[in-house]
Amino acid sequence: PTQIKFSDRLATFENSTWPSKHYDKIVKLASIGFFYTGTGDFVKCFQCGLGLSQWESGDDPHDEHKRLGNGCGYFNKFEKLEPCVYYAKDTRAALSRQLCDPVDCDFCKWEHE
């Protein structure tokens, strides 16, 4: 699979056509495995291939991946971790603290299946 690293997934949203009304979801989407496909608000999980679109303001990417991801290996591993926290440098996301990405994090050391 491609887009294994959090930073690579996050980069797919940068300088893109991602709808600004869903700007608050970017870091969370990338953290739980999604990358932006470049079309509308369509995102896809690098691990399980789940594609989601037509986001509404109350939608939670975490809940949607859990509900529709059919036991995604990355999501399950991510959810089971006692998540460490890092301070995001991505000021565009307007968030100062985010969950780490198990793939990129030296602490979590997630092993790609």
Indicate if the pLDDT at residue 39 is higher than 90: yes
Using the 8-state DSSP alphabet, how is residue 24 labeled? G
- Residue 81 is predicted with a pLDDT of 58
Q: What is the pLDDT of residue 28?
A: 86
What is the reported pTM? 0.72
Contact criterion met (CB below 8 Å) for 51 and 44: yes
Instruction: Return the CATH superfamily for domain 6-99.
Output: Inhibitor Of Apoptosis Protein (2mihbC-IAP-1); Chain A (1.10.1170.10)
Q: What's the CA gap between 96 and 65, in Å, rounded?
A: 23
Q: What are the residue boundaries of the structural domains of the chain, listed by start?
A: 6-99
Residue 24: pLDDT above 50? yes
Q: What is the pLDDT of residues 62-104, one digit of tens each?
A: 899 999 988 898 888 777 654 454 434 444 444 434 455 555 5
